[in-house]
Structure 1
Amino acid sequence: MAQDDLYRTVVLERARTPRYAGPLTGADRHGEGSNPLCGDRVKLQASVDAQGRIAAVRHETRGCAICAASADLMAERVTGQKPAHVNQLHAELVTTVETGIAPEGLGDLSVFAPLHRHRSRIRCAMLPWSALIEMLNDDKDR
């Protein structure tokens, strides 16, 4: 399957039937982000375990398919990870959407590589990640 076909398939599947959408009971972290230019909005809830790992993440996303799919794939990928690894994934995804080249190990997130040809859509994919990074950084001050 070609990269663009895989992109369309994964994005549409995750936008239509998200696996990590809805409220999170017992959440101790909250974040949100919005893009006033297109109207995308994402609210995140997460819980962090005693070892500092993200135990669970849920999202409530109102926006395009790219934003919704990105939020859902992000929630899946960061579960069980420490914030330092999340920052690394974020950096790798930024490089991927800017260059179209996904590093080995990015997994399903590599489906966003074709966005490098659609610069205006990059913000759609990155909005959930920006909200997550901000939420995790804000919690360091607690």
Structure 2
Amino acid sequence: MSGLEGLYQQIILDHSKARHGDGELTDATAEHHELNPSCGDELTMRIRLDPAHERIEELAWRGDGCSISMASASVLVDSVRGLTVAEAQSLTDAFREMLRSQGRGEPDVELLGDAVAFHGVSKYVMRVKCAMLAWVALEAAVAKAGSPAG
């Protein structure tokens, strides 16, 4: 294992243990529940958008699942809090593209930040849904909120 792979593995382990955003958000604009029926991972994402529905002010989630799905949700919270809805969608699109790469190419570290740690997951098709669970829930919650950019 290269030093970079070890660092990425450590990011995933750290986030699966110290879950950022794991909790309640009582004044949510919208929420969405996702379930991965192939493995049983599930997660409910709650978001609060600004009054114009253009920026993600806050988000929180509750879930249960493997370390990859839980760590991905944690990284997502750190990555999208405070972004505009359009910026969050661009990041989600880049994350999805990286996970579809099957480990080929080099992901955009500048854009993805800690989310790049999941690049190795792309080599394991059955784990891609685990990593995408929270990101799909975020997209659906934004759509439910009726965002102008969504």
Q: Same fold (TM over 0.5)?
A: yes
Counterpart secondary structure, 2:27: coil
Quick one: percent identity of the two aligned structures? 27
CA RMSD after TM alignment = 1.7
Q: Which runs of 5+ in 1 are unaligned?
A: none
Displacement over 2 Å in runs of 4+ = 1-4
Given that residues 15 and 65 in structure 1 are in contact (C-alpha distance below 8 angstroms), is that contact kept between their aligned partners in structure 2?
A: yes
The aligned runs of 1:5-84 (5 Å cut-off) are 5-51=6-52, 52-84=54-86
CA distance in 1: counterparts of 2:60 and 2:133, whole angstroms: 15
Query: What are the Cα deviations for residues 42-64 of structure 1, in whole angstroms up to 9, with x where unaligned?
Result: 01111111242111111112000
> Per-residue deviation at 1:29?
1.4
> Per-residue deviation at 1:83?
1.4
> Per-residue deviation at 1:8?
1.6
The aligned runs of 1:91-102 (5 Å cut-off) are 91-99=93-101, 100=103, 101-102=106-107
Given that residues 85 and 147 in structure 2 are in contact (C-alpha distance below 8 angstroms), is that contact kept between their aligned partners in structure 1?
A: no
Query: What are the Cα deviations for residues 17-42 of structure 1, in whole angstroms up to 9, with x where unaligned?
Result: 11211101322211110101100000
> Per-residue deviation at 1:2?
2.4
The aligned runs of 1:98-137 (5 Å cut-off) are 98-99=100-101, 100=103, 101-103=106-108, 104-137=110-143
TM-score by length of structure 2 reads: 0.87
Return the letter of the residue paired with 1:67.
Answer: S
- Higher relative contact order structure (alpha carbons within 8 Å, sequence separation ≥ 6): 2
Q: Which runs of 5+ in 2 are unaligned?
A: none
> Per-residue deviation at 1:91?
0.9
CA distance in 2: counterparts of 1:124 and 1:95, whole angstroms: 15
> Per-residue deviation at 1:141?
7.5
Return the letter of the residue paired with 1:29.
Answer: A
CA distance in 1: counterparts of 2:40 and 2:34, whole angstroms: 10
CA distance in 2: counterparts of 1:19 and 1:128, whole angstroms: 12
